[in-house]
Chain A
């Protein structure tokens, strides 16, 4: 096993140790992730790079509590989620991690502001506090004047910024980006990754950016390569 360790930090956003994920396909066992060990510091941005089917999305899903590891331990912001039940994982995702998906996936009938507030409504509502946070995020993301627009009225870049805002609504310890620039042209993609870096660094929030585009890795603090389910140096 080879891995690149982050700078020495006592405060880790993610600590994956010897994580293995397998699937049963008929009589065969398919290994999606094999003995993966990864540590991400609390304010670190890690680019996870690898070809299609290499296991990067699986790793990201396990880190975000969407999938459970077959074996190994996963600790996010000090919480060992390895043995969490489905209900606990749902709560964990709601409160501790943020997701930005490849195809944006905003709720089409909600305005930009309401798409941010969805996260607040799914958990114990914070009311005015949540609304204030949504407004603040929209302002920071340069979307104040688009707050009441539906996703259909926004450009690709604006939608991606709304998705970033949604991921930050619950003040997560770790944000997972699944190929956030794949649907954008190179210029817009560059802007979005720049924005991601700014937002993460200004908040001191850790991020893993799943990508197979090496051009955007220079925005990350560190690049981790994964091939055939194994993390390489």
Chain B
């Protein structure tokens, strides 16, 4: 005989599954990009996405998320940073070589996106990470601060400093290009 409790379970289970599947469909790309911003490696980034959603599914916290984007960014950030730490301790570095052109060559070709990418990679991590996250789907400084676990003011300062450094180098490259 089926009890009322069993009925609730059997009715709620598919609903929860569908809600979780919707969450994965809605946010997996976002989580992937947060992970990629930290790790700069497509394989590691995908592993982080898997781990993040698996953790959410197991702990059932996803059902009670208030700020979905900030929560997911924080979860993915932690897992990605943890993974990067382990990778650095490992014997082999799994970092993929960047196939972007060198800044001078890219400047001559007028490939500014490639230049920005190279200049970003050359930034110190504390400046690169908030800047990389700021390029994500309207992630504001409060959400970046929440994800990184630092103060919002610190995020703003680092964003300004990072932008300033990249802009200075961009300006120098532009001048070189115009002088030719």
B and A form one assembly: no
Mark A residues whose CB is within 8 Å of B.
none
Mark B residues whose CB is within 8 Å of A.
none
